[in-house]
Amino acid sequence: MTDRSNPVVGRIRDQAMGVYERIRQKAKPQMKLPIRSLANVKYRPQAGYFQLSGRNKVRTMTVGTVKTFAQSLKMMAMSQDLIRTGRHSTKREAYYQAYNWGDAAFAAQEESDTVMDDVEAMLGAHREAMHFRADEHGGEVAGELIVIDRDRKSGRRLEIDCARFGSGAYSVPTVVEELGFRTAAKFILAIETKGMFERLVEEDFYSRHHCILVSMGGVPSRACRRFIRRLADDRGIPVYVFTDGDPYGYFNIYRTLKVGSGNAAHLNEFFCVPQARYLGVTPDDIVEYKLPTHPLKEVDRKRAMDAMRNDPFIQHHKPWRAAMERLLKMGVRVEQQALAKHGLEYVASEYLPRKLKAIDKFLP
């Protein structure tokens, strides 16, 4: 991609030109950026994610702000360089590259991370589009999907067949912006644990049910959410989510996948999966499938109460409030692997097929 056609490069130039023009006019240079705090966040049911309410702050260059001001401009210049050379930099590498910025060098990585977040919000672009990435796993994939990427050396198109990895899987990279997809799969199944993911691979679930399995490995990383989102949007396929039946599975994993997280509201537009629906394990399943449970821990109760009091997503969705109240009344939690009580293959041969016949009963 030439940098002229890249929208992020365009916005970087606009910001830089704004600063330049103010200087030419002998006025103090300014940058405008949205306020990134929970007080400036709303849950938008139509859009399906947490959104900024639109309040901005203006950062004017003064003696007190000159260092941050310089760092923001240098960070944008670094991003432009990365896009130009087709490279990506981890947040940590960005911090070390800034060692050479003289007086504008960062004292610690937290400082450079904050400036990166500011620039993200300022440009209205997520850091992956600016060619920055975190040091995180992106999840694993197996199933009826061809991922289209490019060979780094030759630039040749690569087709990666996620149904041809045997007992292994495709590991999602931390930046997925330029991946393409080809699939005839009927749905994506996002799974909490690698153990359950490998169970379903072993049971040949994806070819029996024509789907794509994604192992999130706990709370899904940005890369994992972005991958599912781009794939689901691009191919118009539904996303079903399969986690443990406990407040952590419901609010930390499912809710983060579906609507994003409160403290990164300027990014949720890109990193949420509004089309996600919750398949299980629900409190009703505990009774219906006679599943072994464990008592709710104090931390589970606290998490549930917090969510019911403060989480706009739960407050908006009655079925979730009802499910949560039921679980609290039962006083238990259930793990997805509890289905193994009925035999290892039960989850693939009975539980999921029965669930998939009543998609309208999935929690929102």
Q: Which of 171, 302, 319, 364 binds a copy of itself (CB under 8 A)?
A: 171
Catalytic residue among 43, 96, 99, 278: 96
Q: Is 112 helix (H, G, I), strand (E, B) or coil?
A: helix
Tell me how far, at minimum, the Cβ of 217 lies from a copy of itself, in Å: 7
- For position 84 contacting a copy of itself by CB under 8 A, the verdict is no
Tell me how far, at minimum, the Cβ of 152 lies from a copy of itself, in Å: 5
Buried b / exposed e along 194-207 (16+ C-beta atoms within 10 A) = eebbbbbbebebbe
User: First and final CA of the chain: distance in angstroms?
Assistant: 39
Q: Which of 36, 88, 229, 355 binds a copy of itself (CB under 8 A)?
A: 88
Q: Which of 28, 32, 42, 164 binds a copy of itself (CB under 8 A)?
A: 164
Please count the residues of this chain forming the interface with a copy of itself, following the rule CB under 8 A: 59
- In the bound state with a copy of itself, the residue whose beta carbon lies nearer, of 201 and 212, is 201
Interatomic CA distance for residues 274 and 317, integer angstroms: 14
Tell me how far, at minimum, the Cβ of 116 lies from a copy of itself, in Å: 14
Structure tokens at 207: 């070819």
CB 184 within 8 A of CB 157: no
Interatomic CA distance for residues 195 and 210, integer angstroms: 20
- For position 22 contacting a copy of itself by CB under 8 A, the verdict is no
CB 315 within 8 A of CB 255: no
Structure tokens at 284: 């009703």
Q: Which of 30, 56, 207, 263 binds a copy of itself (CB under 8 A)?
A: 207
Tell me how far, at minimum, the Cβ of 130 lies from a copy of itself, in Å: 14
Interatomic CA distance for residues 126 and 121, integer angstroms: 8
CB 273 within 8 A of CB 233: no
Q: Is 96 a catalytic residue?
A: yes
- For position 97 contacting a copy of itself by CB under 8 A, the verdict is yes
Q: Which of 127, 199, 222, 266 binds a copy of itself (CB under 8 A)?
A: 199
CB 212 within 8 A of CB 206: yes
CB 205 within 8 A of CB 348: yes
Quick note: the x/- pattern for a copy of itself over 100-119, rule CB under 8 A, is x-------------------
Tell me how far, at minimum, the Cβ of 335 lies from a copy of itself, in Å: 7
Interatomic CA distance for residues 335 and 315, integer angstroms: 25
Tell me how far, at minimum, the Cβ of 225 lies from a copy of itself, in Å: 16
Parallel, antiparallel or unpaired: strands 294-295 and 332-333: antiparallel
Quick note: the x/- pattern for a copy of itself over 313-352, rule CB under 8 A, is ----------------------x-xxxxx-xxx-------
Binders in 27-66 for a copy of itself, by CB under 8 A: none
- In the bound state with a copy of itself, the residue whose beta carbon lies nearer, of 328 and 340, is 340
- For position 135 contacting a copy of itself by CB under 8 A, the verdict is yes
Using alpha carbons, select from 172, 228, 166, 171 the residue that is nearest to residue 201: 166
- For position 158 contacting a copy of itself by CB under 8 A, the verdict is yes
Q: Which of 166, 236, 298, 329 binds a copy of itself (CB under 8 A)?
A: 166
Tell me how far, at minimum, the Cβ of 213 lies from a copy of itself, in Å: 12
> Which whole-number Å values give the CA distances from 32 to 16, 18, 106, 122, 325, in the listed order?
12, 10, 22, 7, 43
Give the burial class of 111: count Cβ atoms within 10 A of its Cβ; 0-12 exposed, 13-18 middle, 19 or more buried: middle
Instruction: Point out which residues bind a copy of itself (CB under 8 A).
Output: 87-90, 92-94, 96-97, 99-100, 133-138, 140, 147, 149-153, 158, 160, 164-175, 179, 193-195, 198-199, 201-202, 204, 207, 217, 292, 335, 337-341, 343-345
Residues carrying an active site annotation = 96
